[in-house]
């Protein structure tokens, strides 16, 4: 078996059959990172010592037969998750030398399950971006075409998996930051229901939207990971206090009788024709598998982008006020006084996109504008949520494109922020409503991957994963590889 693109399920069998040890598997991926990542730049920090130590511990657990499905599985983690004694930068100069003093709950759970930490992946600064070009540590290159972006903000996590530098990776999704890069890199990318996975120890961008999730090769792998990542955490007051379902249990149920909703708003101007054709082919495939396709309306979806670009900057402006050059993070040289310390540390430590969003947020929250911007956006958010609640009274899942196009050339949109923001036009509504969504590969357009987005009702990740898994049993788009992986 080719280890490079093997799934968690396949590697678990090799590990438990003693065909390979966790240490050998880890060495394999560390070698691949050393040989290939200079061209992709998907990692900010590689942690070989930690990885080998964890792999050796995993081998002991495997020898005792006390393993989980994840024991010995090498993973890469978005550099937004704090891991004790490992540098955690959020892709920013502000945290370029920050060594986290504790480990986030999400990563703690994955480590407890026996995963191996290969390193921390590149990302847009503080998760603000859709192309991974705003990172202080340089842009990430898409393994499918290294002249193109991998999507963002979790671009490093997506690119590292697409380049076979890990077996799975973590990401965060505030407005599409898992689903859009998954679409552009030909991967399965899951954003669970808001609150399903603890945010504790995850560096905050927009707290009412931020949600951890994962990149995998298959929906089955995503189900396995979610079972271990999810669960209540008393340290996160927004964490859902609900039992974690067995997400893998229902994967094999057929789709007969399933109602799939399509919304015309997801197929309007701006969607590349070839992407539209592939998405429609994917919907026809679901129909062939027994699903009934139903037209639905989401009348307030057209306001999603505008509501998001008020709410997310407002929350970012509040969250990022903690970076003041005093307790941790970047500090300017020779401050003249306290105000100079604050202003220069922040101005020198943050990149231009982050500064812009902080100021937009400060504006939206300022006296005289709060009602017209922030309050109005929160009202729209309720209407967008209500649309989904009504839609899910008629259908089981909603299907459409993940992104309006395939990966674009590096630098193509850096001077056109609105065009960059439009990358998330199909993913933002689910983020505002807090419903789960997944992107799965649905074809190639001019050699670049295209994603199909499935949106589910609150807490119905199991149904989403089942639809995605069944689709992947009938298609092989998720098995396609970048040419560079085959050389």
Partner 1 sequence: MITKQELGVLGDLAQLSLDPESRDSTLRAINEVLELVAIMNTAECEGVKPLAHPLEAEQLLRSDKVTEVNQVAKFSQAAPLFKEGLYLVPKVIE
Return the residues of window 226-255 that contact partner 1 according to CB under 8 A.
Answer: 234, 237-238, 240
**Contact region for partner 1 (CB under 8 A) — 10-18, 128-136, 331-339, 472-480?**
331-339
User: Rounded CA gap, 223 and 213, in Å?
Assistant: 11
Of 53, 272, 297, 324, which lies in the binding site for partner 1, with binding defined by CB under 8 A?
Answer: 324
User: Rounded CA gap, 370 and 376, in Å?
Assistant: 8
- State the DSSP H helix or E strand holding residue 88, giving kind and residue range, or none if neither: none
User: Rounded CA gap, 418 and 299, in Å?
Assistant: 22
User: Rounded CA gap, 135 and 263, in Å?
Assistant: 34
Does residue 429 touch partner 1 according to CB under 8 A? Answer: no
Contact assessment for residue 335 and residue 344, using Cβ atoms and an 8 Å cutoff: yes
Of 337, 393, 446, 487, which lies in the binding site for partner 1, with binding defined by CB under 8 A?
Answer: 337
CA of residue 421 relative to chain centroid, distance: 16
Does residue 390 touch partner 1 according to CB under 8 A? Answer: no
Q: Shortest CA distance to 253 belongs to which of 463, 400, 35?
A: 463
For partner 1, the closer CB: 292 or 297 = 297
Helix spans in 65-208 (H): 105-112, 155-162, 179-185
Does residue 358 touch partner 1 according to CB under 8 A? Answer: yes
User: Rounded CA gap, 246 and 462, in Å?
Assistant: 8
For partner 1, the closer CB: 217 or 381 = 381
Annotated catalytic residue 78: yes
Does residue 360 touch partner 1 according to CB under 8 A? Answer: yes
Does residue 81 touch partner 1 according to CB under 8 A? Answer: no
User: Rounded CA gap, 130 and 60, in Å?
Assistant: 41
Does residue 217 touch partner 1 according to CB under 8 A? Answer: no
Site string for partner 1, 91-130 (x = CB under 8 A): -------xx-x-----------------------------
| Contacts (Cβ under 8 Å, ≥6 apart) of 13 | none
In angstroms, what is the minimal distance from the CB of 417 to partner 1? 6
In angstroms, what is the minimal distance from the CB of 441 to partner 1? 28
In angstroms, what is the minimal distance from the CB of 405 to partner 1? 19
Annotated catalytic residue 177: yes
In angstroms, what is the minimal distance from the CB of 306 to partner 1? 4
Query: Please, which of residues 444-463 interact with partner 1 by CB under 8 A?
Result: 458
Of 280, 292, 342, 475, which lies in the binding site for partner 1, with binding defined by CB under 8 A?
Answer: 342
| Contacts (Cβ under 8 Å, ≥6 apart) of 166 | 29, 74, 75, 76, 118, 160
Does residue 377 touch partner 1 according to CB under 8 A? Answer: yes
The set of catalytic residues is 78, 153, 177
């Amino acid at each position: 078996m080719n280890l490079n693109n093997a799934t968690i399920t396949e590697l678990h069998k090799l590990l438990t059959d003693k065909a390979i040890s966790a240490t050998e598997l880890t060495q394999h991926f560390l070698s691949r990172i050393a040989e290939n990542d200079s061209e992709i730049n998907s990692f900010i920090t590689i942690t070989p010592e930690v990885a080998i130590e964890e792999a050796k511990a995993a081998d002991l657990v495997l020898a005792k037969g006390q393993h989980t499905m994840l024991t010995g599985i090498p993973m890469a983690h978005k550099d937004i998750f704090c891991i004790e004694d490992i540098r955690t930068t959020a892709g920013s100069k502000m945290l370029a030398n920050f060594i986290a003093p504790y480990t986030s709950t999400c990563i703690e759970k994955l480590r407890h399950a026996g995963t191996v930490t290969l390193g921390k992946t590149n990302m847009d600064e503080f998760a603000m971006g859709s192309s991974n070009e705003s990172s202080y540590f340089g842009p990430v290159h898409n393994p499918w075409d290294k002249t193109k972006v991998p999507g963002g903000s979790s671009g490093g996590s997506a690119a590292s998996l697409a380049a076979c530098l890990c077996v799975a990776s973590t990401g965060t999704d505030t407005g599409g930051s898992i689903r859009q890069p998954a679409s552009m890199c030909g991967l399965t990318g899951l954003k669970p229901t808001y609150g399903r996975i603890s945010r504790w120890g995850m560096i905050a961008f927009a707290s009412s939207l931020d949600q951890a999730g994962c990149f995998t090769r298959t929906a089955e792998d995503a189900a396995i990971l979610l079972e271990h990542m999810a669960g209540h955490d008393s340290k996160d007051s927004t964490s859902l206090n609900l039992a974690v379902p067995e997400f893998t249990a229902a994967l094999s149920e057929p789709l007969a009788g399933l109602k799939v909703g399509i919304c015309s708003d997801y197929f309007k101007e701006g969607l590349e024709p070839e992407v539209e054709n592939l998405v429609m082919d994917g919907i026809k495939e679901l129909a062939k598998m027994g699903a009934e396709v139903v037209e639905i309306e989401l009348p307030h979806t057209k306001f999603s982008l505008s509501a998001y670009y008020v709410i997310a900057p407002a929350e970012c402006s509040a969250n990022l006020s903690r970076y003041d050059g005093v307790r941790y993070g970047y500090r300017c040289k020779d401050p003249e006084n306290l105000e100079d310390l604050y202003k220069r540390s922040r101005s020198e430590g943050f990149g231009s996109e982050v500064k812009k969003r902080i100021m937009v947020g400060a504006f939206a929250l300022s006296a005289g504008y709060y009602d017209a911007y922030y309050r109005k956006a929160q009202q729209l958010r309720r209407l967008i949520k209500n649309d989904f609640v009504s839609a899910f009274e008629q259908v089981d899942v909603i299907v459409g494109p993940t992104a309006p196009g395939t990966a674009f050339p590096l630098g193509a949109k850096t001077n056109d922020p609105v065009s960059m923001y439009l990358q998330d036009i199909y993913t933002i509504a689910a983020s505002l409503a807090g419903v789960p969504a997944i992107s799965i590969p649905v074809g190639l357009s001019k050699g670049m991957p295209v994603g199909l987005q499935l949106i589910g009702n609150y807490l119905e990740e199991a149904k989403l994963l089942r639809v995605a898994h069944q689709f992947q049993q009938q298609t092989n788009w998720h098995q396609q590889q970048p040419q560079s992986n085959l050389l």
